[in-house]
Structure formats: structure tokens, C-alpha cells
Structure 1
Amino acid sequence: MDNREVIGSWLSGPRAAAEKMGVEFGYRGERLGLPESGPGSIASVGRRIAALFIDWFLSVLIAYGLLAHRDVHLASNWALLVFGAVSTIGLGLVGATPGKLIMRTRVVQVDGTRLTLLGALLRAVLVLLVVPAVVFDRDTRGLHDKAVKTVQIRV
């Protein structure tokens, strides 16, 4: 193997290198029994990030609306608590936060059932820790989703 092949596989990533060796990955969600596209398929990363930004923006607005007249720095800390509460309540009751509803996604258990309130709380705490949310598998499920056995799907 010459140096160009090594550099090419490194730049292309592990998926390209594995496919070159004949390993088939399939589509995102295939291992979970989800459809490749349309309703019930894994939500795209772009939709999930957009939903996260919408939820964070709403949480900051709520925190500043409630506490800005007292202390701006206190309001920024409270935004985390508001975000956690909105995530826990929204996911535990309807399987979605306001941002997820706008982006037409929903969080469900891998078996298709609704997430419990305790599962929603654990997932929200892990999202607030950030690292579990940015480490993900080939189905783009973060560690926070794997810990509570959930997947974010398109509606």
C-alpha cells in the first residue's frame, strides 16, 4: 500500500475505508428496524441541531423574562435549568420539545414506545453535559440516546 492510499483513507474517513474493504454499513437506522426515509426514519442531524437551537433560544428567553430585572448573570444560569425542565416535561409527556415539534421530529424508545418521565429526565441531564450528545454511533444516536434506549425520528 503506498502513502497516497493511506492518506486517502484517512481523509475519507473510516466509513469509506471500510466500504473499500467490502464492509456494508447500510442506511442510518437499518440496524434498528427503521425505514430509510420518510416518517419513522432517523431524523437528520440538521433537524436535530435546529431543534436544539430553537429549544435553547426559548429557554434563554424564558429565563431572561423571569429574571433579567434582577441579575443578567443569574438568568444565564437559569436558562440551563429551564432547558432541562422543558426537555424533561416535553419528552416525558408528548415525546417532543417545542423545537422538535417545529422541526417535525420526536423522541421514542427504540421499540417504538413513548419515553418515560424518568428516561426523559436522564436524557435531559445527559444532553446538558454536552459530551454524551456529541459522541454518536453510525446511526447518529448519541450516548444520551443509547443510555435511555431512544432514537429521534421524523414525524
Structure 2
Amino acid sequence: MDNRQAIGSWLSGPRAAIEEAGADLGYRGEQLGLPEEGPGSIARPGRRIGAMAVDWALCLLIAYGLITDGYDQVTGNWALLIFFVLSVLTVGTVGFTPGKRLFGLRVLDLATGRPSPLRALLRSVLLCLALPALVWDRDGRGLHDRLARTVEVRI
């Protein structure tokens, strides 16, 4: 293996390296019984990050405009609290936040299809810790979704 192959396999990620070795991982969401594309398929990272950015901006705007009198660390803390409450209430009741709805996403419970308030609470706590959301499985689900037994899909 020359340097170009080594660098190329590193850039393409572990999934590509495993598939080059002959393993068939299937498409994202196949193990969960979800379609490969279209409604009901696993949400792609770009959409999920965009939805979270919209939700965060909304929460920051609320914290800045209604609670604090200037932008500082306290504003960020209030925004995180508002983000947590928004996530628990909206995901636990309708299955999506305003940002997720804007980007055409919904959170589903793997067993029942509709996330319970308790699952939404667990998912939101883990999401606010950030690290679980940055660790993904081979289906593209964050650790926060995996532990809460939920999945974020396109609608």
C-alpha cells in the first residue's frame, strides 16, 4: 500500500475501508428496517446540524431578547436551558422541534413510533451534554438517539 492509498482510506473513513475489505454494511438504517431514501429514511447529518442550528439560534434569540440585557456567558447558559426545555416539550409531544420541522425531520421511538416524554427527556439531556451527539453508530444515529432508543428520520 503506498501513501496515496493510505491517505485515501483515511479520508474516506472507516466505513469505506471496511467495505473495501469485502464487508457489506448495507445502507444506513437497514438494520432498523427503515427505507434507504425518502420519507422514513435516516436523516443525514447536514439536515440534523441545520435543524439544531435553527433551534439554537431561536433559543439564543429568546434568551438574549427576553431574559438577559446583553450577550455574555449568562445568555449562553439561558439559551441552553431554553434549548433543553424546547427539546423535551416538542419532541416529547409532537416528535420534532421547530428546526427539525423546518428541515423535514422527525424523532421516532423505535418500538412505538412516537417518542414518550421520558425518552425525549433522556435524549435531550444527552444532547445537551454534546459528546453523545458527536459519537455515531454505523446507521448514522448519535449515541444520544441510540441510548434513548430513538431515531431521527426524514418526513
Report the TM-score when normalising by structure 1: 0.91
Give matches, 1:19-34, under 5 Å. 19-34=19-34
Asked whether 1:117 is paired with 2:117, we answer yes
8 Å contact 1:67–1:74 — kept in the other structure? no
Give matches, 1:7-46, under 5 Å. 7-46=7-46
Matched to 2:17, the amino acid is: A
Question: Residues 8-29 of structure 1: CA distance to partner in whole angstroms, max 9, x if unpaired?
Answer: 4334332222222211111110
1:119 & 1:16 partners in 2: Cα distance? Answer: 33
Tell me, what secondary structure is at the counterpart of 2:96? coil
Unaligned runs of 5+ in 1: none
Give matches, 1:128-139, under 5 Å. 128-139=128-139
The residue aligned with 2:59 is 59
The residue aligned with 2:50 is 50
Matched to 1:144, the amino acid is: H
Unaligned runs of 5+ in 2: none
Question: Residues 92-130 of structure 1: CA distance to partner in whole angstroms, max 9, x if unpaired?
Answer: 000000000111100001235211111111111111111
- Tell me the matched-pair count: 154
Report the TM-score when normalising by structure 2: 0.91
8 Å contact 2:95–2:107 — kept in the other structure? yes
8 Å contact 2:64–2:70 — kept in the other structure? no
Matched to 2:67, the amino acid is: L
Question: Residues 21-41 of structure 1: CA distance to partner in whole angstroms, max 9, x if unpaired?
Answer: 211111110110001111111
Query: Percent identity among equivalent residues?
Result: 53
Matched to 2:55, the amino acid is: D
**1:6 positional shift:** 4.4
Matched to 1:62, the amino acid is: I
The residue aligned with 1:84 is 84
8 Å contact 2:84–2:125 — kept in the other structure? yes
RMSD value, Cα: 1.7
1:148 & 1:3 partners in 2: Cα distance? Answer: 43
Matched to 2:27, the amino acid is: Y
